[in-house]
């Protein structure tokens, strides 16, 4: 199976870049399934039905969220009727968070893909333990038996926590991918047990920015230590950043992982077909 995951979409530039590039990428790489982190898709903060539809129209099969899941209040009701939209799995049970944090998807070729979204705890608003939540989900849905592929989106601040999740899932997931920090890391690898991993997928954003947001506003905030203007996405051409993964049809484990970068300012990187 051929999978692609794309990092945090920052506002309209990120959505437009995916609309431009994703259809061609799906054809070129013969992708069976596409997952996108979309928690910043609506003007940099949260998601709406319209911005989600832009990404589904571009070719997304699943959208994951993160710490900005509910910045747009309509997401609280939209997620209940849209199974292709996932919030973090590890909300406390008593919070009664709407929607779902893991879901099984059927591909046009007859495969089944499980996507799990979790939120880290280091330097983040603390939810329940993401490791326990993922462990339970993986035990209930064994790779290569119940599913042809399993993707875990580890949305968190600390690189150490993302890497720990990769090793924790090694041999039980096809891909563990970090999101949230918006910068593509250079450590794409297949771990010893067969799980593809990259610490951060990067963002679909204008990189003449501070993590996709207007650099003037961001620099002023850091320099003055005052709140200043409301943050807005940088509006230049966006780079689409993500990873391509090919899995073993028998086991669901990864055969290879390669970065994807196309458009915008960053040096292009395209997997060989």
Q: What is the mean pLDDT of residues 22-34?
A: 98
- The CATH architecture annotation of domain 2-207+236-262 reads 4-Layer Sandwich (3.60)
Active site residue 68: yes
- What span, in angstroms and rounded, lies between the C-alpha atoms of 66 and 203? 14
- The per-residue pLDDT for range 235-245, each reduced to its tens digit, is 999 999 999 99
- The per-residue pLDDT for range 126-174, each reduced to its tens digit, is 799 999 999 999 999 999 999 999 999 999 999 999 999 999 999 999 9
| Predicted confidence (pLDDT) at residue 108 exceeds the cutoff of 90 | yes
Confidence (pTM): 0.97
The residue ranges of every structural domain in the chain are 2-207+236-262
- The per-residue pLDDT for range 73-98, each reduced to its tens digit, is 999 999 999 999 999 999 998 889 99
- The per-residue pLDDT for range 189-214, each reduced to its tens digit, is 999 999 999 999 999 999 999 999 99
The pLDDT of residue 110 is: 95
- What span, in angstroms and rounded, lies between the C-alpha atoms of 15 and 30? 21
The pLDDT of residue 185 is: 98
Q: 252: which residues sit within 8 A by CB, 6+ positions away? A: 1, 143, 144, 147, 148, 149, 150, 174
The pLDDT of residue 227 is: 87
Of 21, 68, 180, 182, the catalytic one is: 68
Block residue for tokens 């950043």: 241
| Predicted confidence (pLDDT) at residue 248 exceeds the cutoff of 90 | yes
């Amino acid at each position: 199976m051929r999978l692609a995951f794309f990092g945090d979409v920052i506002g309209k530039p990120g959505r437009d870049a995916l609309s431009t590039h994703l259809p061609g990428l799906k054809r070129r790489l013969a992708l069976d399934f596409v997952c996108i982190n979309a928690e910043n898709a609506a003007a940099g903060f949260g998601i709406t039905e319209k911005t989600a539809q832009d990404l589904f129209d571009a070719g997304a099969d699943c959208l994951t969220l993160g710490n900005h899941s509910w910045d747009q209040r309509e997401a609280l009701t939209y997620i209940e009727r849209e199974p292709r939209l996932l919030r973090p799995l590890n909300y406390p049970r008593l919070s009664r968070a709407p929607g779902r944090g893991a879901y099984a998807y059927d591909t046009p070729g007859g495969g089944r893909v499980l996507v799990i979204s979790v939120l880290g705890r280091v330097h983040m608003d603390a939810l329940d333990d993401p490791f326990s939540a993922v462990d339970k989900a993986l035990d209930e849905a064994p790779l290569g038996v119940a599913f042809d592929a399993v993707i875990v989106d580890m949305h968190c601040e600390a690189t150490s926590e993302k890497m720990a999740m990769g090793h924790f899932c090694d041999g039980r997931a096809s891909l563990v991918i970090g999101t949230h920090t918006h910068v593509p890391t250079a450590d794409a690898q297949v771990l010893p047990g067969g799980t593809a991993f990259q610490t951060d997928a990067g963002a679909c954003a204008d990189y003449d920015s501070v993590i996709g947001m207007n650099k003037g506003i961001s620099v002023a905030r850091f320099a003055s230590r005052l709140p200043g203007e409301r943050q807005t996405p940088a509006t230049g051409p966006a780079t689409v950043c993500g990873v391509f993964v090919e899995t073993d049809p028998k086991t669901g484990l990864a055969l290879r992982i390669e970065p994807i970068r196309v458009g915008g300012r960053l040096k292009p990187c395209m997997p060989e077909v």
